[in-house]
Structure 1
Amino acid sequence: MTLRIQGIVFDKDGVLFDFQKTWGAWAHRMIEALAQGDEALAQTLADALAYDRPTRTFRPESFVIAGPAHEVSRVIADHLPDRNFSEIHEFLVTQAAQTPLAPAVPLRPTLMNLKSRGLRLGVATNDAERAAKAQLASENTLDVFDLVCGFDSGFGAKPDPGMCLAFADATGLASDALVMVGDSTHDMDAGRAAGFTCVAVLTGVATADDLAPHADVVLPDIAALGGWLDTL
């Protein structure tokens, strides 16, 4: 059977941007700022996030890899009783919006190649919408997307399918003509529940063995999407 793909929804971190290179550095800055020189507190925050300070990387079991941004804020707030949740969450979202990014591939050429095929493009991330849009704008790619959704956009967070379904509604495209591209089982589960074809990429933390049981295909990165589409 030949598939007629008309649109692609991307997760952001670990897909458009290399997860460890981008968010490992963010976590280091964030922990140091919040701990304010308290070494024990810094280590407590790192442990709570399953973050390895010497290598500045998240361990594979870290909930931060696929979890929504407000959950990161909640866990951190649990260890900072003198600061309220709203203050901490605003700090983290602001820091995320200003984080130097490490694109997984040359983003604009890759995305424009897909647009040239007549595809509609979207983003579904468990980050905050404001941070996601700021990051995409900083890489000159925000204009490429028809819809950018975060966990706080009103459609729920992955693995629920709400953001994928919102993209289908916004574009008027049928779910079976759409693809979800992600680096986690949360992404694959969200796409599957929405009726999308599910493509996993290996620019996050999960391995091919982790993702293959949940995906229709596993690719090295989003630059390989064009070749995959040509095989359909």
Structure 2
Amino acid sequence: MTPRAVLFDKDGTLFDFGATWNVFAQRLLGRLAEGDMALAARAAEAVRFDLARGVFLPDSPAIAGTNRQIAEILAGVMPYGVDALEVMIVEEAAETPLAEAAPLGPLLDGLRGRGLRLGVMTNDTESVAEAHLGRAGVRSRFDFVAGADSGWGAKPSPGPLLAFADAVDVLPGQVVMVGDSTHDLIAGRAAGMLCVGVLTGMAGREVLHPHADAVLPDIGHLPGWLDGLR
């Protein structure tokens, strides 16, 4: 079946994960620890962030987790409540530097020129997704933007993916789900969509391949892959 829509994950897909979220983590942990390096170390271990190298480890629960889930983890080692932590996470996330995985404007315009409907579904909050897409100057290219707090659940549940298909009036089998984590691809499979993995997150090809119809270096290769379906 010919694709009629593409649904993107945000972090690690539209935006390079390491270049964007390693900076976020360093800023957040510095803010929370307030100079207490022992506290920063405990928090970093809880979310599997290597303070010395300034990078998330591949098994970090923050990679595909929701802001609420990250807040719950940090609350176990820091003197803050879950609600307060979630607010601080959202505040820092909204301002984190963005590194586009590929030039987004031309790519998205090209996909829309093919008649494809476009959406974003992230396990981040909807407000942060809106802020990031707005800062990147590409919000208007998307017909649908949802976060884990938008009312349809979070990946790996297929619920928010099916909400996208319904919103743009296409069958799930006519949607391509593009993401950098197994959460994205498992959700796509459960929704009955085509699944494309990209290597701009923390997962390698060997991790994504069992769940994907294709694994691409980044979203810039998506048009070529779509051409191969014809």
Distance, in Å, in 2 between the alignment partners of 1:94 and 1:109 is 29
Give, in angstroms, the shift of residue 32 of structure 1.
Answer: 0.6
Q: CA deviation at 1:65?
A: 0.8
Deviation at 1:109, TM superposition (A): 0.9
In 1, are the aligned partners of 2:68 and 2:82 still within 8 Å (CA)?
A: no
In structure 2, give the amino acid aligned to 1:43.
A
List alignment gaps of at least 5 residues for structure 2.
Answer: none
- Describe the superposition over 1:138-170 as per-residue Cα deviations: whole angstroms up to 9, x where unpaired: 000111111111000000000000110000110
Residue 64 of structure 1 pairs with residue 67 of structure 2: no
1:173-199 deviations in whole A, cap 9, x for unaligned? 001110100001100000001110000
Deviation, structure 1 residue 84: 2.1
- 1:96-140 Cα shifts (integer Å, max 9, x gaps): 011111111111111111111110000010001000110010000
1:85 deviation in Å? Answer: 1.7
Q: Tell me the residue number matched to 2:6.
A: 8
Q: What are the superposed Cα offsets for residues 15-71 of structure 1, whole Å, 9 maximum, x if unpaired?
A: 000001100010001001100010100000100010011221111111111111110
Write the distance in 1 (CA, Å) between the matches of 2:72 and 2:204: 28
How far apart in 1 are the matches of 2:92 and 2:31? 11
Alignment of 1:150-229 (within 5 A): 150-229=147-226
1:144 counterpart = 2:141: yes
Matched, 1:34 2:38: no
Q: TM-score, normalised by structure 1?
A: 0.97
- CA distance in 1: counterparts of 2:181 and 2:84, whole angstroms: 29
Query: Which residue identity lines up with residue 167 of structure 1 in the other structure?
Result: F
Say if 2:117 is the partner of 1:124.
Answer: no
- Give the RMSD, CA atoms, in angstroms: 0.8
Q: State the alpha-carbon separation in 2 of the partners of residues 56 and 21 from structure 1.
A: 11
TM score, norm. by length of structure 2:
0.98
The percent identity for this pair of structures is 50
Match of 2:75 in 1: 77
Instruction: Give 1:55's aligned residue.
Output: 53
Q: Report deviation, 1:80.
A: 2.1
Are the aligned partners of 2:43 and 2:78 in contact in 1 as well (CA < 8 Å)?
no
Aligned length: 229
Structure 1 segments unaligned to the other structure (5+ residues): none
Q: Which one of the candidate residues 22, 25, 34 is aligned to 2:23?
A: 25
CA drift at 1:220: 0.7
- 2-side partners of 1:157 and 1:136: how far apart? 19
Of 88, 98, 107, the residue aligned with 1:101 is 98
For residues 184 and 176 of structure 2, what CA distance do their matches in structure 1 show?
Answer: 11
